[in-house]
Structure 1
Amino acid sequence: MMRPLLLASLVTSLVTMAWPPSLHTGADPMLPPCPDTPNCVSTEATRASQRVPTVPFRDAPAAALARAKSALLAEPRTTVTIERDGHLHAECRSFLFRFVDDVDIVVDPVAHVYHFRSASRVGRSDLGVNRQRIARISARLALPPATSD
């Protein structure tokens, strides 16, 4: 009974160790495209079912990146693996099987918005985990409503 679980864990570990994070450094598009599976969401997705909205920011890009890092690290079992040029790449591990999801946040200094991508490395369905993660991060980064005087 333990062998299938051990084998699944070993295969997952090998896949996640060999899988390089997909950091795209070109200006257009800012994020790697989503694959044809439903376990990816992105602000730049071409499919409506995979698209998530950008989030605006008002602060300087460096401060916006610091806020994005805080919002990202508030997610459980998350490690930022790359931080450079207004781009964060992180790995989020699932609780039980330790599956890895790749999360990218880009601070767009021209449009003053955050761009997001969250995708599972393995499998086809994620039961909405990536969309929920980006929704929580977006909520942490959302601008407070304007106050009327």
Structure 2
Amino acid sequence: MLRTIFKPVTAVIVLTAGVVGCASSPPEQFTRSDNDFTPCSSAPHCVSSQAEKDSGHYVEPFAFAGTADGARQALLKALYSHDNATVEQADNRFIHATFRSTLGFVDDATFVVQPHDHIIDVKSSSRIGYYDFGVNRRRVEDLRKRFKAELAGA
């Protein structure tokens, strides 16, 4: 009897999570200024190059040696090469991409090109939930590898 009830309940939970993940809207504001992201919440589903280095949220920014425009183009190519990425906005210094999981959950990745520092700050965060099981951190590191490969090939 318990197994008979468990299967429909599990299906409802998975379907509800998928619908909520698909329906969740992006955060209204990604940055506090032209150079600064909004901070990560206390939930561990966010990484940022602007977080405190000793926090669990910190990740290194993307470094580049050439021009800011060349780095921006390399980052866009890295994003376009990612199967689950959609570039939502790409301005001179600000890039916003979304990543959709197979279950329909959406994560936001934002980037700010800092031309004078020769870095691209990055923030990647899940829209809903608490844990992401390290997905955002792994995604940022994968994008870093793709970015470096694009820079090397340019």
TM-score band by shorter chain is: 0.7 to 0.9
Letter of the aligned partner of 1:5 in structure 2?
V
Residue 94 of structure 1 is aligned with which of 86, 98, 101?
101
Matched, 1:111 2:120: no
Deviations 1:38-97 (A, max 9, x none): 0000000125211001222122211211101111222221100011131110000112x1
Give the Cα–Cα distance (whole angstroms) in 1 for the partners of residues 32 and 17 of structure 2: 33
User: What secondary structure is seen at the aligned counterpart in 2 of 1:76?
Assistant: coil
Percent identical pairs in the alignment equals 30
Deviation at 1:20, TM superposition (A): 3.8
Q: How many residues align?
A: 140
Match of 2:18 among 9, 19, 23: 9
* Separation in structure 1 between the aligned mates of residue 49 and residue 14 of structure 2, nearest angstrom: 35
> 1:69-148 to 2 correspondence within 5 Å?
69-95=76-102, 97-142=103-148
One-letter amino acid matched to 2:38: P
Contact 2:64 2:118 in 1 (8 A): yes
CA distance in structure 2 between the partners assigned to 1:28 and 1:9 by the alignment: 34
Name the counterpart of 1:19. 26
- 2:60 matched to 1:60? no
Compared with structure 1, are the counterparts of its residues 20 and 50 closer, same or farther at alpha carbon in structure 2 (3 Å cutoff)?
closer
Give me the TM-score of the superposition, normalised by structure 2. 0.81
3-state DSSP of counterpart to 2:95? strand
Match of 1:45 in 2: 51
Between Structure 1 and Structure 2, the one with more helix by share is: 2
Which ranges of structure 1 fall in alignment gaps of 5 or more residues?
145-149
How far residue 100 of structure 1 moved from its aligned partner, in angstroms, is 0.3
